[in-house]
Amino acid sequence: MNAWTGKVIRVNLTSGTITKEPLDMKAARAFIGARGLAAKMLFDEVDPNIDALSPENKLFFAAGPLTGTFAPNVGRYDVVCKSPLTGAIAASNSGGSFGPELKYAGYDMVIFEGKAPTPVYLWIKNDQVELRDASAIWGKEVPETTDMLRAETDEDAKVACIGPAGERLSLIASVMNEMGRAAGRSGVGAVMGSKNLKGIAVVGTGAVTVGNKEAFDLAAKDASAKIKAHPVGGAGLKAFGTDVLVNILNSVGSLPTRNFNDGYFPTADKTGGEALAANNLLRPRGCHSCIIECGRATKVTNPKFAGEGEGPEYESAWGFGADCGIDNLDAIIKANYLCNDLGLDTISTATTIACAMDLYENGIITLKDTGGIPLNFGNAEVMVEMVKLMGYRQGFGDKMADGSYRLADAYGHPEYSMSCKKQEMPAYDPRGVQGIGLHYATSNRGGCHVRGYTIAVEVLGNPVKMDQHTIDGKPELVITFQNLTAALDSTGACLFATFGIGGDELAALLSGATGIQYTTADFMEAGDRIWNLERMWNLTAGLSSNDDVLPERLLKEPIKSGASKGEVSRLNEMLPVYYTLRGWDGNGVPLPEKLQSLGLA
């Protein structure tokens, strides 16, 4: 066995039993690992119609075959389960060293079933795997939890855990690893909380082997050279982080502003990567095996928002910034730190605050509802305060802790929620960038940018440039990116590796590592297979083409200012083309011949 360790830990939290199983190699070959393979197992094992927060849901921590190998930028793992936020399949991806450490301990994945009667954590040290009491740790924030788990296990253990938000079943709670890295989206932290599972500590001293060393070495050298030679992968992300996008998106008029009321924020420059590098950056940081180093070690000295930690990424800086009408970078960074400590997803937290501000400014909620807190756009102090209240479900924060859709819907105005499938959209306005809107609407986990990052082509011009405002060719572009990303995520590679390499290089790495030949076509087909499997699961869960939509605001209210003034999303023109090209019927259901061709029939 190479690349894959071939072993899976299955933990039944209800009974407290731990078993080790061999990896299903036929499935591994077809679905690769991480996101894809865990999705396949969820598909086989979990009824899509269960309550996501019930013991019937299962929680997969899954690394990919490349995770832990000596290839560049392959340090990732996925947390997969049914999402309590969307009702769809969740797969939240995180970096750091947790995924590789799991592999070095000898496992491709850990599956949690049932619900522990009292709080527990899982301690993995190579062959030794045990559930331990976490009663004393329950209630602690992420950094303290991490320290305590290390004190009880091994000082060098890699720790993934939830904070107060996950314990309180906030539908936007994240799973955090190594304090600053997040499997952020879709409420995977709430599923962990619902199982009384506080954390996982892992130490591994074994190896991840490769099947064809010569081929792997060549592929790894090639990938490394290409990423280093690329101006973005090789230098740009290290210097400015992802937050450099603030000025780019603002300049093309597609920086969603004040809950997507506009696409241009005049003072956005104060919150961009340039300002971050000049004022707050201590040094860049990298995940295990990373040669890009987009992570930000930052510090805020302003006493009102003082702190030190990781972040923000572009999406977080945008969410707490332009989307809330705020240009105070210190406050934005502080909000990011709080999300990390409390275990909240930054995108959903920020945009839920933006939604609350929108509801407040339009008189739908009042001081009576908010407990006297004036939720005006632009109020940085209030924004930071709301993050704390959400993490602990205190006061009005309780209503906000389940995301913008539940909040707006509770007041009879779901249209104020800027979400797809009830998950908040990130930092690219679909009115200004047409392809990304089609991706948001069709993404299997709801509003999300990292599963079909068409921005690379539509705005950045990488590897080619397409006009952001046209819809021509966009359905094809979205499908290609969705398939490529599904396969890439499943290897354990980082999406940013694509600033340098593509399907050819990834297929070569996968072939060398596993010793099984994947052509580029095989690799892309695996992505298509994973995408369709996720789709099938969602359809059985009760989702339909009625959920492949964008908020009405984006279809009907044009952007008011900036370079994309006057634009609306033309989703409804693109969607039927997308369905046809996907091999789906008019209702977005995969046709039998499509499923047959992918081996999913």
Partner 1 sequence: MRIKYFAYLRDVTRVAEEHYITTAATAGALLDELCRRYGPPFAKWVLKPDGSLSEIAIILVNGRDIRDGVWAETPIAPGDDICIFPPVAGG
Partner 2 sequence: MSKVLMIHPERCTGCNTCVLACAYTREGEARPSASRVHVYNWEREQFSVPMMCQQCDDAPCVAVCPTGAMHRADGTIVVEYDVAKCIRCRMCVQACPFGNATYDMVTNKILKCDTCAGAPECVAACPNQALEFVDATVATRSRKKSFAKKFKEAFQEVG
Residues numbered 469 to 528 that lie near partner 1 (CB under 8 A) are: 495-496, 499
Pick the closer one to partner 1 by CB: 245 or 386: 245
User: Considering the rule CB under 8 A, would residue 287 count as an interface residue with partner 2?
Assistant: yes
Given the structure tokens 């890699």, which residue do they identify?
158
Grouping H, G, I as helix, E, B as strand and the rest as coil, residue 117 is: coil
Structure token digits, residue 360: 């407040």
Q: Look at residue 305 and give the partner it binds from partner 2, partner 1, none, a contact being a CB closer than 5 to 8 Å depending on partner kind.
A: none
Grouping H, G, I as helix, E, B as strand and the rest as coil, residue 150 is: helix
CA atoms of 519 and 482, how far apart (whole Å): 18
- Minimum CB distance to partner 1, residue 389 (Å): 30
CA atoms of 554 and 433, how far apart (whole Å): 11
Binding-residue pattern over the window 245 to 284 for partner 1, x denoting contact by CB under 8 A: x-xx--xxx---------------x--xxx----------
Residues numbered 534 to 573 that lie near partner 1 (CB under 8 A) are: 562-564
Give the largest CA-CA distance in the chain.
68
Bridge partners of 12, per DSSP, are 17, 113
Bridge partners of 133, per DSSP, are 120
User: Considering the rule CB under 8 A, would residue 33 count as an interface residue with partner 2?
Assistant: no
User: Considering the rule CB under 8 A, would residue 309 count as an interface residue with partner 2?
Assistant: yes
Find out whether 88 and 52 touch, Cβ atoms under 8 Å: no
Structure token digits, residue 275: 């300002």
- Would you say the C-alpha torsion 365, 342, 113, 64 has a positive or negative sign? positive
Bridge partners of 298, per DSSP, are 281, 309
Task: Find the part of the chain contacting partner 2 (CB under 8 A) among 44-52, 66-74, 413-421, 576-584.
Answer: 66-74
Distance of CA 553 to the CA centre of its chain: 24
Find out whether 75 and 495 touch, Cβ atoms under 8 Å: no
Q: Look at residue 390 and give the partner it binds from partner 1, partner 2, none, a contact being a CB closer than 5 to 8 Å depending on partner kind.
A: none
CA atoms of 56 and 425, how far apart (whole Å): 28
Q: Look at residue 262 and give the partner it binds from partner 1, partner 2, none, a contact being a CB closer than 5 to 8 Å depending on partner kind.
A: none
Find out whether 116 and 101 touch, Cβ atoms under 8 Å: no
User: Considering the rule CB under 8 A, would residue 310 count as an interface residue with partner 2?
Assistant: yes
Binding-residue pattern over the window 438 to 477 for partner 1, x denoting contact by CB under 8 A: -----------xx--x-xx--xxxx--xxxx---------
- Among residues 211, 286, 395, 502, the one that binds partner 2 under rule CB under 8 A: 286
User: Considering the rule CB under 8 A, would residue 308 count as an interface residue with partner 2?
Assistant: yes
Phi, psi of 16 (to 5 degrees): 80, 15
Residues numbered 81 to 120 that lie near partner 2 (CB under 8 A) are: 97, 104
Cα radius of gyration (the chain): 22
CA atoms of 281 and 504, how far apart (whole Å): 35
Binding-residue pattern over the window 148 to 187 for partner 2, x denoting contact by CB under 8 A: ------------------------------xxx-------
Pick the closer one to partner 1 by CB: 11 or 457: 457
- Among residues 87, 114, 184, 295, the one that binds partner 2 under rule CB under 8 A: 295
User: Considering the rule CB under 8 A, would residue 434 count as an interface residue with partner 1?
Assistant: no
DSSP designation for 398: H
Where along the sequence are the contacts to partner 2 (CB under 8 A)?
68-70, 72, 97, 104, 143, 146, 178-180, 205-210, 213, 228, 238, 282-293, 295, 297-298, 308-310
Task: Using CB under 8 A, list all residues that contact partner 1.
Answer: 231-232, 236-237, 239-245, 247-248, 251-253, 269, 272-274, 294, 313-314, 449-450, 453, 455-456, 459-462, 465-468, 495-496, 499, 562-564
